[in-house]
Amino acid sequence: EAGVTQSPTHLIKTRGQQATLRCSPISGHTSVYWYQQALGLGLQFLLWYDEGEERNRGNFPPRFSGRQFPNYSSELNVNALELEDSALYLCASSVGRPGYGYTFGSGTRLTVV
């Protein structure tokens, strides 16, 4: 069984640009979650998508947005990039209730210069 796949692995952008990160969940998983792991800040919940709908978002500005496609894959878009957006962005997926835990992907390392 293929795991959660994220692309690209690394992404370098200039301040003010837009970044698009992609995630494919495990087959059969309908929920996708996005977390930001910035140096020294731990894991911060960004977004939860389920069945194509945004179910919840964390305490991030609106320039962080995303969507979930009919095949349950997901995109995270970050507009007007700032230096502090540099982080590892982790995608996870689950089947059923999110409380039973997730399976994470390997992440996308976003560097803003």
Partner 1 sequence: AQSVTQLGSHVSVSEGALVLLRCNYSSSVPPYLFWYVQYPNQGLQLLLKYTSAATLVKGINGFEAEFKKSETSFHLTKPSAHMSDAAEYFCAVSDRGSSNTGKLIFGQGTTLQVKP
Contact residues for partner 1 (CB under 8 A)? Answer: 4, 6, 31, 33, 42-43, 45, 48, 50, 55-56, 58, 90, 92, 97-107, 109
**Alpha carbon distance 38, 18 (integer Å):** 18
**Alpha carbon distance 31, 41 (integer Å):** 24
The CB-of-80 to partner 1 minimum distance in angstroms stands at 25
The CB-of-97 to partner 1 minimum distance in angstroms stands at 5
The CB-of-113 to partner 1 minimum distance in angstroms stands at 19
| Amino acid, single-letter form, for residue 108 | T
Cβ distance to partner 1 smaller for residue 52 or 58: 58
Hey, CA dihedral for 26, 32, 38, 43, is it positive or negative?
Answer: negative
